[in-house]
């Protein structure tokens, strides 16, 4: 008997359709379903609330890429592999869909899957030499100027080597997983998700020669907020993490752990690119 934890996007309008399918699978398959305490209010009672000593085999994320990114924190805390079930539009991080759910459950029960370990960013914010934030991100860390129309001035140092001073709207620091997200919109390159590298992509730099760059994942990257007329913001995987002030130091390194993502299909990264992004179509 396998134990599955489920994590939902509460705003998905067809959650009841998902619940009905899960109830059917719960009654016909060898599986136990558990929900997180934070989502107890809207998930039906046939899914049991998880206890401290509950041992899980898998975490299932139901929603889009944003839901998957939120579920990553539960997956890491529980040291449990994560499968995305796409209910959204793009669903680049998901390897299953509602139509494929029954087969996906069967594959998980019968151990017919692979684990892909994804690089995480460790992000530290220092203010007047005091650490005010420590967190992680799977997709990206975005240093953004906030509501002001004026540009940020940011100094970028990698492994104690000066890289560039730039005036811009902000900077995206992305993992290979995040290379298909915000970084791509800023002109960043596409990277295979299993690469050991980090992208640094400026947002609307005043000097056009400041371009996205790829660095070894082992580098320690430091971003200094040198000039800001109003508070900026640091976003981690799309969520506001902390407001930023002049003089703040944002330190980004490769985390010492990785998230385990379940791969059920034999589709390559490049097949997914062609399908999701319509790449190479005439």
How are strands ordered across the β-sheet holding 161-168?
130-137, 121-127, 249-254, 221-227, 152-158, 161-168
In this structure, what are the phi and psi dihedrals at residue 189, rounded to the nearest 5 degrees? -80, 160
- What residue spans of 145-262 are helical by DSSP H? 182-185
DSSP conformational letter for 50: P
Match 């995206």 to its residue by tokens. 172
Tell me if residue 140 is catalytic. no
Q: Which of 65, 95, 140, 219 is catalytic?
A: 65
Cα separations in angstroms, 158 against 142, 199, 204, 209 = 17, 12, 21, 18
- Active-site residue set: 65
């Amino acid at each position: 008997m396998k134990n599955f934890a489920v994590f939902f996007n509460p705003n998905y309008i067809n959650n009841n359709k998902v619940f009905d399918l899960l109830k059917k699978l719960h009654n016909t398959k060898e599986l136990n379903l558990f929900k997180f305490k934070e989502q107890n209010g809207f998930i039906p009672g046939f899914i049991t609330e998880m206890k401290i000593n509950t041992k899980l085999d898998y975490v299932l994320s139901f929603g889009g890429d944003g839901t998957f990114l939120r579920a990553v924190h539960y997956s890491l805390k529980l040291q449990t592999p994560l499968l995305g079930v796409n209910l959204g539009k793009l669903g680049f991080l998901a390897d299953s869909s509602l139509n494929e759910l029954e087969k996906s459950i069967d594959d998980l029960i019968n151990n017919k899957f692979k684990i892909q370990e994804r690089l995480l960013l460790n992000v530290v914010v220092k203010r007047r030499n005091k650490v005010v934030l420590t967190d992680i991100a799977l997709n990206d860390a975005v240093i953004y100027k906030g509501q002001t129309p004026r540009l940020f001035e940011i100094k970028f140092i990698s492994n104690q080597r000066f890289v560039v001073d730039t005036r811009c709207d902000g900077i995206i620091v992305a993992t290979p997983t995040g290379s298909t997200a915000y970084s791509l919109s800023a002109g960043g390159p596409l990277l295979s998700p299993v690469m050991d590298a980090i992208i640094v992509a400026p947002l609307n730099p005043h000097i056009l020669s400041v371009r996205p760059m790829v660095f070894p994942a082992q580098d320690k990257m430091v971003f200094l907020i040198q000039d800001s007329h109003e508070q900026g913001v640091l976003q981690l995987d799309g969520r506001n993490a902390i407001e930023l002030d002049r003089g703040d130091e944002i330190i980004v390194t490769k985390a010492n752990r990785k998230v385990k993502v379940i791969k059920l299909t034999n589709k390559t990264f490049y097949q997914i690119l062609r399908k999701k992004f319509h790449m190479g179509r005439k």
